[in-house]
A and B are shown apart, each in its own frame.
Chain A
């Protein structure tokens, strides 16, 4: 499915509103990193990936693993808007009587390809899916979003050594480089830069883009697809909390829900963005 840039922007704005709303209604969750990676997710699910909401377990489908599994408020609204389940089900997020766990979960949510939450683990499972694709001569692709704080986990580098060894050119990882994590700036908590040199030295083809520019995102996916013999890592430079003025570039919004007043303001801002894009 190909989608024009304006529609992608509108879809992402709608997803952002749903993301903030579900965190607000659950009174807990992770808005910051969800808002930062939502343009990438929208481009994946509405433009890039070969998927069918009517057949979420199609063996031939492209796969997606949210390695930073706390960004369920990015994944679940994207899946809902894409038609995997009704938007109303987002109300079940983080509820004891619901089926939408705080971290991304595959057993009960249609369209989720892997349960994640413990950082560093998702990318290994994505490597496994890509390896399965190679072994079975399938032409599906595997995408995975990681956080730039997450890459401090040693397992991420174990995974890329394996992706390099097996020449997994069907694997495309996107690092959501928003520069912030729970305890503060990534460069202070545990410096992970230079990410481009690191991933390149681990055998990946590295593309650095503005993670909020749909032309750049879709071009990077095309470049990744055309890259043979090695995996691709897209370093998507993003703004944590993107789209909600008071959440932007503020580590405090990593894992906090807005109060009534804050939600009203966030809603007004995102509705204005939606109206502008619809106009």
Chain B
């Protein structure tokens, strides 16, 4: 376990660095460069950075036009205004023609904290993954975010990636055999009784929950599912067969997100109990981020409880 850094910072720095070797990368923001961390790109490559003002819908369309001319645009704003405000532009101007635009939504989830419900996007995975052909990502730490950003540069097609506001511990750099691949989940911890599937900052909490469960004699596997779509069915099937119970944890509404995607897959391919853990279909609230997370039950303790619930449902 290493540095503590927010995934938005890791992304901003990675994209600015990648732009040195990829002259076709262009970067857009909608007046939030200092928060989304596209400011690193602005500082390094001002000629390829375009601040489109507080006009997210136009930003996605302009990016689509640049992609149609061979550039690799990355658009940046808060998750709420990317996935939310400009959803239809993303669908019709980017995804329908299959254009190579990377839509990056920073400040996803409850951990936005003090800004409150209008800015705490807990619907982005759901509304992005329902668009045909869309790839949806939520990496968990700085190491994974750097690798994901590079993978997106080399992937030709539309994608949405969520970034987090809070500094989080880097965990994936010390996992033996860790390898990042778009659309492939990664087993971070072996376990035989139950599997915890997580993305974003819930991955770190899932690892802590697995420690807590181990102290009670429960062996919990932890799978880092950084790609929500396309979903890695193989790793889910293996978990279902080998552990027989799954809990999915995400900083998202339990409706429509990763938990729903895993439940959809399991019900058709490997029926086992799938317990969804996340925000229980309610809006967020203002508060300091750790307290807000706690208020919504987004803690290792609640993940462990949900894991025990899944375990109890096992036949």
- Asked whether A161 lies within 8 Å of B53 as measured between CB atoms, the reply is yes
Q: State in angstroms the CA–CA spacing of A133 and B52 once bound together.
A: 17
Shortest Cβ gap from A161 to chain B (Å): 7
| A128 in contact with B68 given A121-B61, A158-B57 (CB within 8 Å) | yes
Q: State in angstroms the CA–CA spacing of A159 and B56 once bound together.
A: 11
Interface size for A (C-beta < 8 A) is: 34
- Asked whether B48 lies within 8 Å of A121 as measured between CB atoms, the reply is no
- Asked whether A59 lies within 8 Å of B69 as measured between CB atoms, the reply is yes
| A128 in contact with B88 given A114-B68, A135-B48, A136-B69 (CB within 8 Å) | no
| A114 in contact with B65 given A107-B98, A159-B58, A162-B55 (CB within 8 Å) | yes
Which residue on A lies nearest to B86, using beta carbons?
A155
- Asked whether A155 lies within 8 Å of B61 as measured between CB atoms, the reply is yes
A118, A127, A129, A133: which contacts B58 (Cβ < 8 A)? A127
B52, B88, B98: which contacts A162 (Cβ < 8 A)? B52
Which residue on B lies nearest to A129, using beta carbons?
B65
Q: State in angstroms the CA–CA spacing of A136 and B50 once bound together.
A: 14
- Asked whether A118 lies within 8 Å of B92 as measured between CB atoms, the reply is yes
A268 within 8 A of B: no
Q: State in angstroms the CA–CA spacing of A133 and B48 once bound together.
A: 13
Q: State in angstroms the CA–CA spacing of A122 and B65 once bound together.
A: 9
Task: For A123, list chain B residues within 8 Å (CB).
Answer: 61
Report the tally of A-B residue pairs with Cβ distances under 8 A. Answer: 107
- Asked whether B61 lies within 8 Å of A124 as measured between CB atoms, the reply is yes
Which residue on A lies nearest to B57, using beta carbons?
A155
Interface size for B (C-beta < 8 A) is: 29
A124, A131, A158: which contacts B50 (Cβ < 8 A)? A131
Task: For A120, list chain B residues within 8 Å (CB).
Answer: 57
Task: For B97, list chain A residues within 8 Å (CB).
Answer: 105-107, 114-115
Task: For B58, list chain A residues within 8 Å (CB).
Answer: 124, 127, 155, 158-159, 161-162
Q: List residues of B (172-209) whose CB comes within 8 Å of A's CBs.
A: none
Shortest Cβ gap from A125 to chain B (Å): 4
B52, B66, B96: which contacts A132 (Cβ < 8 A)? B66
Which of the listed residues A114, A117, A128, A158 has the most CB atoms from chain B within 10 Å of its own CB? A128
Task: For B93, list chain A residues within 8 Å (CB).
Answer: 114-115, 118, 121, 124-125
- Asked whether A128 lies within 8 Å of B62 as measured between CB atoms, the reply is yes
| Per-residue interface assignment for chain B, residues 54 to 76, with 1 indicating a CB less than 8 Å from any chain A CB and 0 otherwise | 01011011111111111101000
B249 within 8 A of A: no
Task: For A65, list chain B residues within 8 Å (CB).
Answer: 65
Q: State in angstroms the CA–CA spacing of A162 and B54 once bound together.
A: 11
| Per-residue interface assignment for chain B, residues 68 to 109, with 1 indicating a CB less than 8 Å from any chain A CB and 0 otherwise | 111101000000000000001100110011100000000000
- Taking beta carbons and an 8 Å cutoff, which residues of A are in contact with B? 59, 65, 105-107, 113-115, 117-118, 120-133, 135-136, 154-155, 158-159, 161-162, 165-166
- Taking beta carbons and an 8 Å cutoff, which residues of B are in contact with A? 26, 47-48, 50, 52-53, 55, 57-58, 60-71, 73, 88-89, 92-93, 96-98
